[in-house]
A and B are shown apart, each in its own frame.
Chain A
Amino acid sequence: MNKVQIDEILNKVNGIKITHKRKTRIRVDVDADSLPTLLELIKGRASYIHLSAITCVDWIADNQFELVYHVWSYEEKCLISAHTRIDRGSEKNPAKYISVYDLFKPADFFERDIFEMYGVTFIGSPRMEKFILTEWNGVPPMLKDFDAEAYVQETFKWTDYNPDWLQELTDQGGGIAVKPEDIRTAGNTHNMSTHRERDKAKAAAVKANDKMQGWKQ
C-alpha cells in the first residue's frame, strides 16, 4: 500500500490532518468523535492490528488531555500515531472517553493505566479499577497539578532523619554538602566554577592515588 492509498483510506474520516513524518511513521490528528471510526477503518482496511500503546498527555494550559494511539501494521511496516484531544474535566466531573477495547484487547491495560494515573474514565473498558496504586486515595498522580515533591515534603518527615553516623560526619565538617531546599531555591543556575574546582580536586586525588599503585600490584 503506497502513500496515496493510505491517504485515501485516512481521508474518509472527517476533519483529519495527516503528516507523513518518515517512511515508518504517520501522524494523524482527529476529533475525539471520529477517533474510534479511524481506528476501526485502519484496522479493517489497512491491516493495522497491533496496538503498540495508548499515551495520555496532560496539557494543563489548554485544559485538555491529549490521547495518542500508536498502531502498527505488520504488513505495511508502518506506525500510525492517532492524536486526539479531550476535555480535561474537573475533580467533580472527571474526563470521559470511549474505550477501544472492542477493537484492541490490549487497550484494557493501557486504559486502566490512564484511568489510574490521569483519572480519565473509559466507557466500555472492562476493568476500570485500581491496579498499580491500590493503596492510593489521592488525586491521580500523573496530573500536572499534582506536585509530587510537595506531597513528599508534607507527608514524610525525612529531614528529621539524623542518625549518629551522620551527626559524626557533620561534626567533622562533612555531611550533606548541599541541602535539597537550597538547590530548589537556587533554581536552575548551575555554578560551573565550583564544578571545575571539584574536577581539579578529583584529578589531584587520582594522581596521588597513582603513586600508591605499587603496593596494589
Chain B
Amino acid sequence: MRPENYQAVKLGDSNEYEIFIGPNHPGIEGNYAFRLMLDGDIVVSGKADAGYLHRGFEKLMEGRLWIQNLAIVPRICVPDPAPMEVAYSMAVEEIMGIEAPIRAQWIRTMQLELSRVAAHLFTFGGHAATTGMYTPMFWGVADRDLVLDLFEDFTGGRVYSIYNIPGGVRRELPPEFLQKLSNLLDYLESRQNDYDNLLFTNQVFVERAKGCGALTQSQALELSVTGPNLRACGLAYDVRRDDPYLVYDELEFDIPRQKHGDAYSRILVRRDELFQSIRILRQIIERLPSIKGKIRTPIPNPLSWNVRKGEAYARVESSKGELAYYVVSDGGDKPYRVHVRGPSSMHAVQTLEFLAKGARLEDVAQIMFSLDACPPEVDR
C-alpha cells in the first residue's frame, strides 16, 4: 500500500494502537512493511504488507525469450542471486533433456557456495545491526565485498553475474582464479575468531538474541519453514543432501543444526554453514583442475530457440532455504509459465506474523532479520 493511501485507525477506548513500520525498515533486506497492533510495547498482532518490490517478473518472463529471462531471474533476490540463475537453467535443461557438462556443474557448485558465503556474511552483519551493534555490519559487508571481487573476476558482474546458461556456464575460469579463491578462504577462516569474539559469543548480543522469536520444530514444519531457519529447530534437512543436484553428492559436508529455534540458534546455524561452505569450496579447489572438458552443451541458436513441450520443478538450496522454479513450456520460444517459489515467501509472511505475536516492539526488527527474508521473493 502506498503511504499516502494509509489511513490511521481510530480505536476508541482502548490501550491498543497501530504502528505501520516500513517500507524502509532495518529489519529486512529490501522494501517491506509490517503493520503492528500494539498494547504498550507488546505486539498483539502483526500483518505483513508486501508489494513494494513487485515488478511482475513472472508475467515479464512469459513475454521474453528463454535466453532473455536469464537477465531477469537473478534480480528476484539481491543478496543471493546465483541460485536463481542455476535453478532456472536446471529447469530448462530438464525440459530439454540435456545435461550440463561435468566441469560446468563443478563451476556452478562453486558459484552457489560463493554466493552462500556472501549472503551469510551480509545476514550476520545485518542481524547484528538490528540489535544496535553496527561494527559486525561493517565487517560483514566489507568481507562480502571481497567475495564480490571474486565474482567480478570470473563472471564479470559483482552482484548479478548472469553467468549460467541452459546447458552450462558462459565463460571458463580466468587463470590463477583458484589461487585467489584459496587466499580469500584463508582470510575468511582467519576471521573466525574475530567474528566469534565480536558477535557470536558476545554477551551483549547473546542476551538479546537468546529466546527471541523461538519456533518449535513442529510449528516450523507446519509453516513450511525451510533452510537455516528449519535447521535451527533441530531438523537437519537440506536440499543439497536430500534431493541432490549438481555435484553435491560427491562433496563432503555437515549439515549444522541447533536445538532451540530462536534468533540465536538461527544465526549460529548460519555461522556454521559459512564455514561448511568454505570446506566445500576447498574440496572444489582441489578437484576442479583435474576435471577437464567442455563448459557448455551446445544449444540451438538462442534467439530462435523453441524449447520442447514439458514442465519441470527444479529445486536448489539457497542461503534462505528451499528455492524452486516451476517452468512450463508449450513448445514455443518463450516460457508459457514460470513460477518462483522463494523460501522467503514462507518466512516473511505467515511465519513472521506468527512469531511477532507476543513479542516486544524492539525485538520485531531482530525477528524479521533473523528469518533472513528477501522481500522480492514474496513480491516477484
Residues of A within 8 A of B (CB): 24-25, 49-53, 55, 57-58, 68, 70, 74, 77, 79, 81, 104-106, 108-109, 117, 131-135, 141-142, 148-149, 188, 190
Least CB separation from A116: chain B residue? B51
Say how far B259's CB is from chain A's closest CB, in angstroms.
18
Which of these, A70, A132, A190, contacts B303 with CB under 8 Å?
Answer: A190
Besides A77-B242, A81-B313, A134-B51, 18 more A-B contacts (Cβ < 8 Å) are A24-B243, A49-B221, A51-B224, A70-B324, A74-B235, A77-B243, A105-B223, A106-B224, A108-B350, A109-B350, A131-B50, A132-B379, A133-B54, A134-B5, A135-B5, A142-B59, A148-B63, A190-B303
Least CB separation from A77: chain B residue? B242
Which of these, B243, B328, B333, contacts A57 with CB under 8 Å?
Answer: B328
CA distance A77 to B313 in the complex (A): 15
CA distance A51 to B49 in the complex (A): 23
Least CB separation from A143: chain B residue? B59
Interface centre among A58, A108, A132 (most CB of B within 10 A): A132
- Which residues of A sit under 8 angstroms from B349, Cβ to Cβ? 109
- Which residues of B sit under 8 angstroms from A104, Cβ to Cβ? 224
- Which residues of A sit under 8 angstroms from B60, Cβ to Cβ? 148
- Which residues of B sit under 8 angstroms from A52, Cβ to Cβ? 224, 315, 322, 324, 341
CA distance A79 to B239 in the complex (A): 12
Say how far B294's CB is from chain A's closest CB, in angstroms.
22
Which of these, B2, B49, B243, B337, contacts A55 with CB under 8 Å?
Answer: B337
- Which residues of B sit under 8 angstroms from A58, Cβ to Cβ? 337
- In the complex the two chains form, is A190's CB within 8 Å of B304's CB? yes
- Which residues of B sit under 8 angstroms from A68, Cβ to Cβ? 326
- In the complex the two chains form, is A105's CB within 8 Å of B350's CB? yes
- Which residues of A sit under 8 angstroms from B341, Cβ to Cβ? 52-53, 70
- Which residues of A sit under 8 angstroms from B346, Cβ to Cβ? 106, 109
CA distance A84 to B313 in the complex (A): 16
Least CB separation from A49: chain B residue? B221
Interface hits, B329-355 → A, CB 8 Å? 333, 336-337, 339, 341, 345-346, 349-350
Total A-B pairs, Cβ < 8 A: 83
Per-residue 0/1 for B165-186: is the Cβ within 8 Å of any A Cβ (1 yes, 0 no)? 0000000000000000000000
- Which residues of B sit under 8 angstroms from A142, Cβ to Cβ? 58-59
| 19 A–B contacts from the bound complex (CB under 8 Å) | A50-B224, A51-B224, A52-B224, A55-B339, A58-B337, A70-B326, A79-B315, A81-B313, A104-B224, A108-B350, A109-B350, A131-B50, A132-B51, A132-B378, A141-B56, A148-B59, A188-B303, A188-B304, A190-B303
- In the complex the two chains form, is B59's CB within 8 Å of A105's CB? no
- Which residues of B sit under 8 angstroms from A74, Cβ to Cβ? 221, 235, 237, 242
Q: Does B8 contact A (CB under 8 A)?
A: no
- In the complex the two chains form, is B51's CB within 8 Å of A55's CB? no
Say how far B229's CB is from chain A's closest CB, in angstroms.
14
Least CB separation from B345: chain A residue? A109
- In the complex the two chains form, is B59's CB within 8 Å of A70's CB? no
Interface hits, B38-88 → A, CB 8 Å? 49-51, 54, 56, 58-60, 63
Least CB separation from B243: chain A residue? A24
Query: Which 8 residue pairs of A and B lie closest in terms of their CB atoms, listed nearest first?
Result: A53-B341, A106-B224, A132-B51, A55-B339, A190-B303, A134-B1, A57-B337, A55-B326
CA distance A24 to B223 in the complex (A): 22
Q: Are A79 and B223 also in contact (CB < 8 A) when A70-B313, A131-B50, A135-B1 are? A: no
Q: Does B222 contact A (CB under 8 A)?
A: yes
- Which residues of A sit under 8 angstroms from B339, Cβ to Cβ? 53, 55
- Which residues of B sit under 8 angstroms from A77, Cβ to Cβ? 242-243
Q: Are A149 and B63 also in contact (CB < 8 A) when A53-B324, A132-B379 are? A: yes
- Which residues of B sit under 8 angstroms from A188, Cβ to Cβ? 303-304, 333
Least CB separation from B65: chain A residue? A188
- In the complex the two chains form, is A141's CB within 8 Å of B50's CB? no
Say how far B304's CB is from chain A's closest CB, in angstroms.
7
Least CB separation from B378: chain A residue? A132
Say how far A128's CB is from chain B's closest CB, in angstroms.
15
- Which residues of A sit under 8 angstroms from B63, Cβ to Cβ? 148-149
Q: Are A132 and B50 also in contact (CB < 8 A) when A50-B224, A188-B304 are? A: yes
Least CB separation from B303: chain A residue? A190
CA distance A43 to B241 in the complex (A): 22
Say how far A123's CB is from chain B's closest CB, in angstroms.
20
Least CB separation from A61: chain B residue? B330
CA distance A55 to B326 in the complex (A): 8
- Which residues of B sit under 8 angstroms from A79, Cβ to Cβ? 243, 313, 315
- Which residues of B sit under 8 angstroms from A55, Cβ to Cβ? 326, 337, 339
Per-residue 0/1 for B211-238: is the Cβ within 8 Å of any A Cβ (1 yes, 0 no)? 0000000000111101000000001010
- In the complex the two chains form, is A105's CB within 8 Å of B224's CB? yes
Q: Are A53 and B326 also in contact (CB < 8 A) when A105-B350, A108-B350, A132-B51 are? A: yes
- Which residues of A sit under 8 angstroms from B378, Cβ to Cβ? 132
CA distance A122 to B339 in the complex (A): 19
CA distance A61 to B379 in the complex (A): 28
Interface centre among A24, A105, A141, A149 (most CB of B within 10 A): A105
Say how far A132's CB is from chain B's closest CB, in angstroms.
4
